[in-house]
Amino acid sequence: MGNNERMTEYERRRLENIKRNDEMLAALKIHSKLNDLSAVAAKRQRVEGKSYKRSPVKKPKTESPVVLRRSLRTRGVPPDAATAKGLSDDIDYEKQIKKTPQLNSYSVDRKSPREQGPLAMRDAYTGDDGLDQKLIETLSCSQKSILSEGDTVPCESIDNLEKSEDFETFKGRKMLLGAVNVDKLQLKSENIARLVPGRIMSLKFFPTLDMQMVVVGNKFGDIGFWNVNGMKDDGDGIYLFHPHSGPISGIVIDPYSITKMYSSCYDGFVRLMDVEKEVFDMVYCSEYTVYSMSLSPHNIKSLYFSEGKGGVNMWDVRAGKSLLSCDLHEDRINTIDFNPENENVFVTSSTDGTACIWDLRRMNADKPTPLMTVSHKRAVHSAYFSPTGKFLATTSIDDKVGLSSGANYENTSMVYHYNQTGRWISTFRGIWGWDDSSIYIGNMKRGVDVISVPGNRIVATLESDLLSAIPCRFDVHLYNVGMLAGATSGGQGNVFPRELMCFQDSGLNFRIGIVDST
């Protein structure tokens, strides 16, 4: 029954795709006849205009590598088969890269990110000489404008806001609440750039008032920064580093100190980019695949990341030890997210087909029971609390986006959304906008669907001819309401870069909400 339904849906999509491709081809022919600057030419030119560069020269190492012994796994469980396979694949893949002639940029002789211990930012930097210092400078300067808890900031210091009111920072998730008019979200050519080669796995905005900086992590362990509206003296404002050896599963920025950024990797490493020390410090390392990571906004000393088949490790960053490690799911955990309202509550989404809400006070190493479980028919790829914490949005490959509400999130409704991304496209994840009203999620037609929460359906789709591929990872700028970053994905990923784009609200058509920290 369900199979037949899926087949029918699949056939329908297939026919639609064929039709769309035909139409597109036809349209392109007409355009090129009408205009010398055809849509495609303009697009290609634009995309190639702003992109990362790798420095062709080898840089001398800052220090000789120190090989340390791998610490033994704290948990007495052997790595699961999937993880072991992943790791061996990883090694094979690195070998493959090194013997492929056109991939020389990857075989640059530098300290391997898989070695333990800190990695100097200078050594991990792979762009034009000197510009890494510019990034360090930019982040250090911007740090001064970071809000502290309870700060009140005059609105004129923020772009795109109505100038009459002040706003306060929200205790849990420091964020400006606002409704955007999605019709005004536009993708501009100057807001497209190629940041990293390969598939983008993670994407985050820096939570700053004075700039729009995005950071992405890709499949190869590269991390790319983009100062979207940067100054002229930092080139394109794009900086490329190589601090990891595999897919970067999570990026987390300390909301109170943007000079500290955590990154997690499938290779089992968690690093902390410390701009003050100018290193990618090693926080954690194991033989297990780290599939996701989250920082509690209520307690930034604790870092949470998932390990292997359903495990979660709660790591005390300052003490450098595990607070608690337990198995929460039957399969890999794809996301971890904290409730902005209740500091003890967090949610995990898993390939085992469930999203579970947990209470930190009721955790134990043996058999913790979730406060609530949202069940899907297939793997759940994300579960995120809304900005106020009143809703939960889950995205599953069963072609549903779940919306849960109620005191215990016991009321769940499912919105249909086609999520069959296949193998080459990263999974879709519905993320929250700037208030509890809407969810943004990529679609297979190179668009961004906007799901209305009260409407319980897709109410708009953001589209642009400038968008050259399917967008699948997003983040919203916390203080620049109406600025949505998206990363495209998919395809082969050895030498060609992937692009990142920002939809931006061109107008002032939104309101400011002030949230009480109760």
**Closest separation in Å from C-beta 422 to DNA:** 2
**Closest separation in Å from C-beta 486 to DNA:** 12
Helix (H) or strand (E) holding 98: helix 81-99
Q: Give 303's strand partners.
A: 295, 315
Q: What number of CA atoms fall less than 13 Å from residue 49's CA on the CB side? A: 12
**Closest separation in Å from C-beta 316 to DNA:** 26
- Is residue 197 within 8 Å of 493, Cβ to Cβ? yes
**Closest separation in Å from C-beta 161 to DNA:** 34
CB closer to DNA, 317 vs 487: 487
CB closer to DNA, 27 vs 81: 81
CB closer to DNA, 35 vs 133: 35
User: Which residues in this chain contact DNA in the complex, by CB under 7 A?
Assistant: 3, 10, 13-14, 17, 81, 86, 89-90, 93, 96, 102, 198, 219, 246-247, 266, 289, 332, 334, 351, 353, 378-379, 381, 397, 420, 422-425, 427, 444, 446, 468-470, 488, 490-496
CB closer to DNA, 375 vs 420: 420
CB closer to DNA, 308 vs 340: 308
**Closest separation in Å from C-beta 275 to DNA:** 27
Cα dist. 77→71, 74, 192, 284, 321 in Å? 14, 9, 45, 17, 18
Q: Give 355's strand partners.
A: 349, 374
Q: What number of CA atoms fall less than 13 Å from residue 12's CA on the CB side? A: 8
**Closest separation in Å from C-beta 35 to DNA:** 17
Exposed/middle/buried for residue 408 (C-beta within 10 Å: 0-12, 13-18, 19+): exposed
3-class state of residue 262 by DSSP: strand
Pairing of strands 119-120, 269-274: unpaired
What single-letter amino acid sits at 382? S
**Closest separation in Å from C-beta 223 to DNA:** 16
CB closer to DNA, 94 vs 281: 94
Exposed/middle/buried for residue 88 (C-beta within 10 Å: 0-12, 13-18, 19+): exposed
CB closer to DNA, 82 vs 141: 82
- Is residue 486 within 8 Å of 503, Cβ to Cβ? yes
Cβ-Cβ contacts under 8 Å for 242 (sequence gap 6 or more): 110, 113, 124, 126, 220, 221, 222, 223
